[in-house]
Amino acid sequence: MSTSVRRATLMILVYATLFVGLVAVLNPGVLLWVSPAWAFFPLGNLRWLALVLFIPGALLAGWCALSFALVGLGTPAPFDPPKKLVVRGPYLVVRNPMYLGLLLILAAEVVWFSSWALLLYVILVSIALHHVVVRYEELALKASFGEEFEQYAATVPRWLPRLWR
């Protein structure tokens, strides 16, 4: 493994730990801690369905992070962006699969903890991610990769996967 791939992989581990730790662990934990009793709804044994959301979400986010290191030779972090545009794997069907993986993880937490507060949090995170993608990330990708990104954006949807060509 080359030095740049090793460095990118290490940076992704750090970035993913910090970003996922904050968005998917710390913030939801605080919300659950401060939520009043009425902020929860009963699901009983159905809460195990959270695994149906969590497992694919975690696998998808991990696959995307590795793609950034191995294919893009960078990370999702703005201070260490990929050197190459990543258009393989899950990026063939949707432009933001890493965020979709994160949202699946958060949706799993909503189901597992049966929390209205977490549901509101997921909605707010979704809105924030959309604005970050549209107002910052896509503009930065156009500036970095030009026509290559524009062609990619014209053929691959932003949020809802197109599973057929």
Beta-carbon contacts of 112 under 8 Å, excluding residues fewer than 6 positions away, are 47, 50, 54
Among the listed residues 126, 104, 109, the one whose alpha carbon sits nearest the alpha carbon of residue 32 = 109
What CA–CA distances, in Å, run from 81 to 78, 134, 146? 5, 17, 15
pLDDT at 66: 84
The CATH number of the domain where 49 resides is what? 1.20.120.1630
In a domain, 162, yes or no: no
pLDDT at 38: 67
CB 133 within 8 A of CB 99: yes
In a domain, 68, yes or no: yes
What gap in Å lies between CA 40 and CA 137, rounded to an integer? 35
In a domain, 85, yes or no: yes
User: Residue 33 sits in which domain range?
Assistant: 3-155
Residue showing tokens 């993913």 = 16
In a domain, 161, yes or no: no
In a domain, 142, yes or no: yes
Query: Could you count the other beta carbons within 10 Å of the beta carbon of residue 8?
Result: 24
pTM of the model: 0.87
Q: What are phi and psi of 40, to 5 degrees?
A: -120, 150
In a domain, 29, yes or no: yes
Polymer length in residues for the chain: 165
pLDDT at 23: 85
In a domain, 78, yes or no: yes
Q: Give the chain's end-to-end CA distance (angstroms, integer).
A: 34
Q: What are the structure tokens assigned to 143, written together?
A: 């500036």
Looking at the DSSP bridge assignments, the partners of residue 40 are 115
pLDDT at 5: 67
DSSP collapsed to 3 states, 74-132: CCCCCCCCCCCCCCCHHHHCCCCHHHHHHHHHHHHHHHHHCEHHHHHHHHHHHHHHHHH
Number of structural domains, the chain? 1
pLDDT, block means (10 residues), the chain with 165 residues: 70 76 86 80 84 95 86 77 89 93 95 92 96 93 94 94 69
In a domain, 160, yes or no: no
